[in-house]
Copies of this chain bind each other. A is one copy, B any other.
Amino acid sequence: MRCGSELPQIDIAYETWGTLDHERSNAVLLFTGLSPSAHAASSAADPSPGWWEDMVGPGKPFDTDRWFVICVNSLGSCFGSTGPASIDPRAQTPYRLRFPVLAIEDIAAAAHEVILALGIERLAAVSGSSMGGMDALAYALLFPGRVRALVQVSCAVHSLPFAIALRSLQREMIRSDPEWQRGEYAPGQGPIRGMRLARKLGMITYRSAAEWRDRFGRERVNQPSGDAFGINFEIESYLEAHALKFVGGYDANCYLYMSRAMDLFDAAAHGGGILEKAFARIDVNDALVIGVETDFLFPVDQQRELSRLLDAPGRRVEFHPLASIQGHDSFLVDMDRFRPVLGEFFASL
């Protein structure tokens, strides 16, 4: 791993859609944001809707009639891939905080093992949104010659202090919950309250003030809690519902590691601290960068910077700042804006 530690053995969960062609030249690797599993879309084996159901499938932007799409569950996560909640085979107990410091590069390198195992020499494209966009960028930096096209959605070359502050606070909420027990909670248990708070702050940072103004305004709930500080406004009820849905599904220690990895990543580290030097390592033919004007976690200036850094002689770089009002999460919800941009890019490859 990038921190110098080693894991004795890892599992990487992944799903695929479409068919790998004879030349093994049509593979598209898809990285996820912080929390999703490898289940990006439904399939015969698992018909439940995936986290990017509208984007991956026959005739969709990631057209599985043409591309062989591979989505990996990140190293460090808890949906089949090895992470802090996994059993350390040496100790026969979960790693918990004994898991080494996780880097975005480790997630990329673990995914590369899947690509090698599938016998793929060169990927047609690597794509990722949010944290997954950092993973995709790390992949292109670590494995030159292995990627023809790079797709960067709502991500950045590194995190700015505002985003670090928000994530640091989320982690502190989790670690402040006595049920966290310094990471030693029983498997399947953990800091429910802390995770609920962290998820609510997540939702606040993932959406936008404009969306909520239009959607909730100052509407009150029908049955306000008798408690003066309980749920009274619709926006409070919305956050509560989202937090309840999330908690229990995601391991708290995994969340801490993944969250910190986003703070620590800096593409400049691949060029001795100089971004331009790092980006000179990248040799993709085509690049697509998408950002959203209402995103304040990864503000659109960061995607503008990405597209500038990716610009190189002989390379096609497309940059699309979109006017979606759903903030950072727009790539998950504003399909009408995202589908054509991604669809046309993949069609042009």
Contact = CB atoms under 8 A, between A and B. Distances in A.
Please state the number of chain copies in the assembly. Answer: 2
Contacts of A200: 165, 169, 172
A263 interface: yes
Interface string A169-205: 1011101111000000000000001100100110110
Contacts of A168: 233, 235-236, 239
Chain A interface helix/strand/loop/mixed: helix
A218 B171 CA distance: 18
B169 A212 contact: no
Contact of A161 (B166, B176, B234, B296): B234
Given A204-B169, A218-B158, A164 B197 contact: no
A50 to B, nearest CB: 28
B177 A218 contact: no
Contacts of A169: 197, 200-201, 204, 239
Most chain B CB inside 10 Å of its own CB: which residue of A203, A228, A256: A228
Contacts of A171: 229
A162 interface: yes
A209 interface: yes
A161 B217 contact: yes
Interface string A18-30: 0000000000000
Nearest to A212: B161
Given A172-B200, A197-B173, A160 B296 contact: no
A216 B161 contact: yes
A228 B97 contact: yes
A298 to B, nearest CB: 11
Contacts of A308: none
Given A197-B169, A260-B229, A213 B158 contact: no
Contacts of A299: 209
B233 A263 contact: yes
A218 to B, nearest CB: 6
B263 A209 contact: no
A215 B164 CA distance: 14
A164 B213 contact: no
Contact of A172 (B175, B197, B228, B256): B197
Nearest to A204: B165
B162 A204 contact: yes
Interface in A115-159: 158-159
Most chain B CB inside 10 Å of its own CB: which residue of A175, A208, A218, A239: A218
A197 B218 contact: no
A105 interface: no
A200 B167 CA distance: 12
B212 A165 contact: yes
A248 B50 CA distance: 47
A39 B143 CA distance: 61
Interface string A215-259: 111100000000011001111100100000000000000001000
Given A162-B213, A166-B204, A169-B201, 5 more contacts: A162-B209, A164-B236, A165-B235, A229-B256, A232-B263
Q: Give 6 closest A-B pairs by Cβ, nearest first.
A: A162-B209, A161-B235, A161-B212, A161-B216, A176-B193, A168-B236
